[in-house]
Chains A and B, each alone.
Chain A
């Protein structure tokens, strides 16, 4: 559990006004199974995410956390069960996959910015060529989000000239430029130096405060406590336990969860 960290942001975060919808389902995963060859990576996953939820998925490495969120925008294919995102069921149909991807932003552990394009071009490419937004408008939107992640002055640099934390903030801004309804975070701070973790978490908290539906695979337990409305614990491709963060950390039920928490929290 070397990667687990307890970074917190030094300000009170008021989650009371982050509204979780009671009726709008953002993501519905029903009896979902996935295999890599003969290996059963995800087993009987059932997960209903309401609009406005902030979910943290925790668990030991190899537990299928990343695979699960990668299935939600079809970077990985599931073999059984259903995944319904914003009312669209994911099948092999490319039209549906594109439809889902347009509405679901994803942030990766290793940023995956496009190194041959400037920051501004990274941000405007998809809005222009997927959404068909005019260039000037797309650039205005891009600058708006760059200001929100506090690096508008980097707009004309290339990704390689930025620090890891800056790159990850650009990656978040790039997803936001598509105006997604859901954001997926796949270990967004795991590849960052401790000093840079905070600046990325700050951006994610701002997003949560704006009411974004978020699923974060992360080892940042401080973030889970401060921001999440639900923590999901996975092991061996299954959801073992889920609860509100307070109850999850203070009163875990399953033996595996207790063991996990005892190893990471001192």
Chain B
């Protein structure tokens, strides 16, 4: 006699989950010593840290010469990093050969940029549209007038003199803001049903992606003048800007294409069946979803671009890294065992701060835009 009949007489109420074992001991066991191999790796890791961290700390802080130190202190045998060198040459690292009495002009550009960019990046800040128009259209013009001069009684300063962090930021901000929309257009073009547009976009993307950035910059600086009429020159900074922007836009295009392909066909069809035109479908329905998918890829490209700006030394621009290198090689009054190393560490730290900032901001945006309970 089997009794397979069953009728529930009382419903079971939901209960809180059983308590996890907690405390320091449990945490250690779970995270550091879960298995014998975990334990071995933990011990090796601790040994490695003990081996690396103290000397590094001593070099950077313990035995380092502070910003107010002197070159004599830097030349002491046991001296660590020579921060005095950095603070003494800071102006050169930021502005390059930009005329010193005119440094207020890049300063205004920096301040304006921060003033416009920060509220643009804070989702809750008001006046987004006005803010975006100011940043994208007004700010570049104002900045150019301020930096280049030659009008309104401002002394003209040729771009050859611009340098340091100023150039790094100009190239990366312009490069990122231009290559992003350009990349979107290329990606849409690549998916176009019109053969001419499609072929052009594919050819451009594949050509640019198949060539190193160095080559493109080199072509721009050496080859381009050969094709130009006699006596006509294109500004070095402009060449670098065009080269970097075109290069990055090809990569952006492929990232965006990846996002476009992740959008189900039903989204296009639903948008089309409501009577939305192609551009409205893209703007309201497809791109917002596609771009959200590929934020990590887009930021990856932005970070790569930021670091690639250091290649503009090929066309003779002195970006931050090149400015540091120039000073390392020429500042005889600061010569010591650790001067050059300190210079490069400083450059690395500046690059890291900006790249890390971009990375964190992108993660914040990803979380914020994560409305898609996928169905």
Contacts and interface: CB of A to CB of B under 8 A. Distances in A.
Contacts of B373: 115, 158-161
A165 interface: no
Interface string A86-116: 0000000010001001101110101111111
Interface in A61-76: 73, 75
Interface stretch (A15-23, A27-35, A122-130, A220-228): A122-130
A26 interface: no
A174 B372 contact: no
Nearest to B372: A115
A112 B289 contact: no
A125 B275 contact: no
Contacts of B292: 116
A260 B276 CA distance: 39
Interface stretch (B93-101, B265-273, B312-320, B327-335): B265-273
Report the contact-size class of chain A (Cβ under 8 Å from the partner): 20 to 34
B277 interface: yes
A167 interface: yes
A75 B276 contact: no
B277 to A, nearest CB: 7
B275 A112 contact: no
A126 B269 CA distance: 13
Which of B270, B276, B284 has the most chain A CB atoms inside 10 A of its CB?
Answer: B270
B288 interface: yes
B285 interface: yes
A178 interface: yes
A193 to B, nearest CB: 14
Nearest to B375: A160
B371 A101 contact: no
Nearest to B374: A160
A106 B273 contact: yes
Contact of B275 (A161, A167, A171, A178): A178
B189 to A, nearest CB: 18
A70 to B, nearest CB: 8
Contacts of A102: 275
A101 B372 contact: no
B289 A113 contact: no
A45 to B, nearest CB: 20
Contacts of A171: 270
B192 to A, nearest CB: 14
A130 B276 contact: yes
B366 to A, nearest CB: 13
A238 B292 CA distance: 43
A251 B94 CA distance: 89
Interface in B45-83: none
A161 B371 CA distance: 10
B375 A116 contact: no
B374 A126 contact: no
Contacts of A73: 273
B275 A98 contact: yes
Contacts of B272: 75, 101
Which of B272, B288, B292 has the most chain A CB atoms inside 10 A of its CB?
Answer: B272
Interface in A124-178: 125-126, 129-130, 158-161, 167, 171, 174-175, 178
B274 interface: yes
A112 B270 contact: yes
B30 interface: no
B360 interface: no
B280 interface: yes
B18 to A, nearest CB: 29
Interface string B341-375: 00000000000000000000000000001011111
A126 B372 CA distance: 20
A115 B375 contact: yes
Given A114-B267, A114-B270, 20 more contacts: A75-B272, A101-B274, A101-B275, A104-B273, A106-B270, A110-B266, A111-B375, A114-B271, A114-B285, A116-B371, A116-B372, A125-B274, A130-B275, A160-B372, A160-B373, A160-B374, A160-B375, A175-B273, A175-B274, A178-B275
14 contacts: A98-B275, A98-B277, A106-B269, A111-B375, A112-B269, A113-B270, A114-B289, A115-B372, A116-B289, A116-B372, A126-B274, A130-B276, A158-B371, A178-B274
